[in-house]
Amino acid sequence: MIGREDDVSWSFAVRFSDYTPLFPIRKQPRRNTVTRTSCKACSSRRTGRAAARCRRSDNGVHVLSNSAEATHETLADTVVPGDRRVVRRRLGAAVHRHKAVSREGLTERLFTWLFTGLVYPQIWEDPEVDIAAMGLHEGMSPDTRIVAIASGGCNALSYLTAAPVRVTALDLNPTHVALVKLKLAGVVRLPGYDRFFRFFGRGDARENIADYDRFLRLHLDEATRAYWDKRPMGFRRRISLFGRGFYRHGLLGYFIGIAHLAARAYGVRLRDILAAPTIDAQRRFFEEKLAPLFDKPLIAWATGKPSTLYGLGIPPAQYEALSGGREMRLVLRERLERLACGFPLSANYFAWQAFARAYAPGEDGPLPPYLKRENFAVLQARAKDAQILNASFTDHLRESGEASLDRYVLLDAQDWMTDAQLNDLWSQITRTARPGARVIFRTAAEPTLLPGRVDEAILARWDYRAEESAAFTTRDRSSIYGGFHLYILKE
């Protein structure tokens, strides 16, 4: 049953319970977190508070503040999901372009603060497009290795349903890591598909909390268990989200809830589109009800503010790429049109998440592959082949061997990167790629962003499949990206 349209289900306290204060009034107590840095040149090692004196440059290299000539690279950060300082440092290296005292710098730091908690209850990249673009199939070698940005984990788990591959899912945000680890534990430990689907497909039953305590809690690592057990600001445990509409929460869930309220203020119930029996009926609803909303002065003003789209996980730099010099309301109108009218509702679970804030009722509606009953047994058998890490993509590749990886899933992370970061990333991708390796990613704008920014000598080793990329862009049901891109390493 679809939840009530007017049931926003969050309060001020719960809404911000995942985040530490942007400007703390008192110093937060130190956690049992050790940041380790090591210089490859001199093999020196520094731990604990000493490492805090390092400053990070744009390319991820640490320079010791008391030795301007010694460079130290991060080997690992042992981070519990609640340690926002390390998370903000990592995200800051990816997002911050301006000084903190500038207007642009303040907006970047606001985004970083918001991005340290739960952002994506569900990933918004189509896993079926990923699977096709990567050429995953049951006959593949079990030694095939995929490295993917985790986000909500739906795609990483879905890859396991398509092929006997080894998947490493990593994310800078430890909250997402805790979510993916919980999902993986659910695959292995929950007693059967029905309980698994109730937990992660519905995410709205009190029985899920009892199942967590009985079947999952003691099988999680200490940091993940501590995250889900924590009572932010003294309220209910975080795991209680799975008993009261998990997909309505997180930064994206709240953003969608606000969009529903804004539409209601103009007399439009977004969930009413779900009654449309055909694509033609979906298009009529869009043209008569949804499209006029973007002409409203308040909505035009709000969408013109980069901070408005933080709820979509779009930082300031990506906002500029998404707009492409156009009015943002027009860009968003086009993307919403694709979501509302580009695919039958019976085949698009992204549309259900946007318009119902949940998956379709029952298990016969559209679902990501990892939530489908027919895939559950194979997912259980292959769960051991998944590794979940709280790490930077480039740092992980730097620690990987030459010619050791086959597939790379970058989501839209490159939209955030500087030229130096892009070159560092692609030099490591090229070094670690096996013959025939594939890289897939998405961009806010339509064109690929690599030419002119990544060294020509590196790009010359890769074949950009322009026609296939355009076809995959059209097939992507999430409809929020301008482009999907496929690169294959030349033999």
- Residue 276: band (very low, low, confident or very high) from pLDDT cuts 50, 70, 90: very high
What is the average pLDDT score of the chain?
A: 82
Contacts of residue 372, defined as CB under 8 A and 6 or more positions apart, other chains included, come to 161, 363
Q: How high is the pLDDT of residue 15? A: 43
CB 144 within 8 A of CB 165: yes
Q: Rounded distance, CA 98 to CA 132, Å?
A: 39
pLDDT confidence of residue 94: 56
Which tokens is 430 given?
Answer: 């090229």
Domain membership flag for residue 44: yes
* Sheet of strand 71-77, all strands in order from the earlier edge strand to the far edge: 45-46, 35-38, 71-77, 61-64, 54-56
Helices and strands in the chain, H and E counts:
20, 12
| DSSP character at residue 267 | T
Radius of gyration of the chain (CA): 22
Hey, is 258 helix, strand or coil? helix
**How is residue 182 written in tokens?**
């919980």
Question: Looking at the domain assignment, is residue 48 inside a domain?
Answer: yes
Per the structure, the count of domains in the chain is 1
The string of pLDDT tens digits covering residues 447-486 is 999 999 999 999 999 999 999 999 999 999 998 899 999 9
For range 313-321, the mean pLDDT: 66
Residue 372 lies in a domain: no
Q: Average pLDDT in the 117-130 region? A: 93
Q: Is the pLDDT of residue 33 over 70?
A: no
User: Residue 29: is it exposed, middle or buried by C-beta count within 10 angstroms (0-12/13-18/19+)?
Assistant: exposed
Residue 67 domain boundaries: 34-77
Pairing state of beta strands 386-390 and 166-171? parallel
Give 457's contacts (C-beta < 8 A, 6+ positions apart). Answer: none
Of 361, 331, 380, residue with least CA distance to 480: 331
Flag whether 172 is in a domain.
no
Q: Give the HSE-up count for residue 199: Cα atoms under 13 Å, Cβ half-sphere.
A: 25
pLDDT of residue 132: 98
Mind listing the pLDDT tens digit for each residue in 196-249? 999 999 999 999 999 999 999 999 999 999 999 999 887 899 999 999 999 999
Whether residue 46 lies inside any domain: the answer is yes
43 in a domain, yes or no? yes
Please write the tens of the pLDDT for every residue from 45-100: 333 333 333 433 333 333 333 333 333 332 233 344 545 565 556 555 555 555 56
Q: How far is the C-alpha of 162 from the C-alpha of 128, rounded, in Å?
A: 9
Specify which residues 37 forms β-bridges with. Answer: 46, 74
Q: Is the distance from CB of 311 to CB of 258 less than 8 angstroms?
A: yes
Q: What is the mean pLDDT of residues 390-399?
A: 95
> For the chain, how long is the longest CA-to-CA vector?
68
pLDDT of 2 higher than 60 = no
Query: What's the whole-number mean pLDDT along residues 429-440?
Result: 98
**pTM of this structure:** 0.80
pLDDT tens-place string over residues 322-338: 766 788 889 899 999 99
Q: CB count, 10 Å around CB of 388?
A: 24
Return the minimum-mean-pLDDT range out of 164-168, 345-349, 443-447. Answer: 443-447
- Please write the tens of the pLDDT for every residue from 403-421: 999 999 999 999 888 899 9
Between CA 425 and CA 268 the distance in angstroms is 44
pLDDT value at residue 100: 60
Cβ-Cβ contacts under 8 Å for 219 (sequence gap 6 or more): 185, 188, 189
Q: Amino acid letter at 45?
A: R
Burial of 374 (0-12, 13-18, 19+ CB in 10 A): exposed
Whether residue 20 lies inside any domain: the answer is no
429, 396 contact by CB (below 8 A)? no
Query: How many Cβ atoms sit within 10 Å of the Cβ of residue 255?
Result: 17
Give domain status of residue 69, yes or no.
yes
β-sheet bridge partners, residue 54: 64
Q: 320-347 burial, b if ≥16 CB within 10 A, otherwise e?
A: ebbbeeeebbebbbebbbbbbbbbebee
